[in-house]
Amino acid sequence: MPASLKALIFDVDGTLSNTEADGHRIAFNLAFDEYKLGWHWNIDTYGQLLAVTGGKERIKYFATDFLHNKNVPNDFDALIPVLHQAKTRHYTELLASGAIPLRPGVERLLKEARETGLRLAIATTTTPANVTALLTHTLGEDAISWFDVIAAGDIVPAKKPAADIYTCALQKLQLPAAQCMAFEDSHNGLLSSLGAGLKTVVTTNDYTTGHDFTGAEIVLDNMGEPDSPFQLIQGDANGYDYLDCRMIEYLHQKPGNNT
């Protein structure tokens, strides 16, 4: 008899919202301009940089693996956190302007899950301030209180694909992985959730469509809405055409890829 479902744990960037190309990337570039670095990350370059999770880690990766430490200021390691703070400021300002909406089905599903009595949590690589800004500017001032746990950023030593952030969220929820379901958009995110023992629903986006999603319960192009069905990419939707709590219960109960 499978364990009963108690909580849903969501990734943020790429899953709740397409924040990367139109949010984080723009904010990194504004911070580079502010510090007169003469760097610009275009959409393609940023796609390659997403191999490394975490903004500070991504800046460092660019300097070492793309610039080979040429055209990089002296004492760059000390500048990275300063640059990243500026990036976070630009990013939260972008969100405040209403520039970045939630993905299809996200608001509907979060509201339905709350009504059904499922607990909600976040497990993300991004900075806590960014999570607050995204949730409050899309769902309203009280949206933070919808989530029992927000596990974000540097609170764990190893970011995704390590399992640490999901393990941390499970500890804070005081639930075993078998009673939760994770929601991810990327290969690195899926490795992290699977590593913590979680069944995982994947919704893809432009940056992650070709990723390897072996081990996911199901892969969809988005969560869908009653009048706008998802496209099934991998797995068995059992006749459902938008992701709601009944479909999540079905995926959770059926013998899965990760049980």
Q: Looking at beta carbons only, is 14 or 224 nearer to ligand XBP?
A: 14
- Stated length of the chain: 259
Would you tell me how many other CB atoms lie within 10 Å of the CB of residue 247? 22
∠ CA 132-133-136, rounded to 5°: 80
Binding-residue pattern over the window 171 to 190 for ligand XBP, x denoting contact by CB under 6 A: ------------------x-
Q: CB burial class (10 A; 0-12, 13-18, 19+) of residue 210?
A: exposed
Given 11, 164, 217, 244, the residue binding ligand XBP (CB under 6 A): 11
Q: Least distance from C-beta 249 to ligand XBP, angstroms? A: 25
Q: Least distance from C-beta 52 to ligand XBP, angstroms? A: 8
Given 7, 13, 169, 207, the residue binding ligand XBP (CB under 6 A): 13
Q: Looking at beta carbons only, is 116 or 138 nearer to ligand XBP?
A: 138
Q: Looking at beta carbons only, is 56 or 199 nearer to ligand XBP?
A: 56
Give the CA-trace dihedral at 59, 19, 168, 213, to 10 degrees: -100
CB contact at 8 A, 28 and 87: yes
The residues of the shown chain that bind Mg ion, judged by CB under 5 A, are 11, 13-14, 185-186, 189
154 catalytic per annotation: no
CB contact at 8 A, 201 and 106: no
State the catalytic residue, choosing from 13, 164, 185, 244. Answer: 13
Instruction: Kindly state the tokens that stand for 236.
Output: 């068995």
What part of residues 96-135 is at the interface with ligand XBP (CB under 6 A)? 124-127, 130
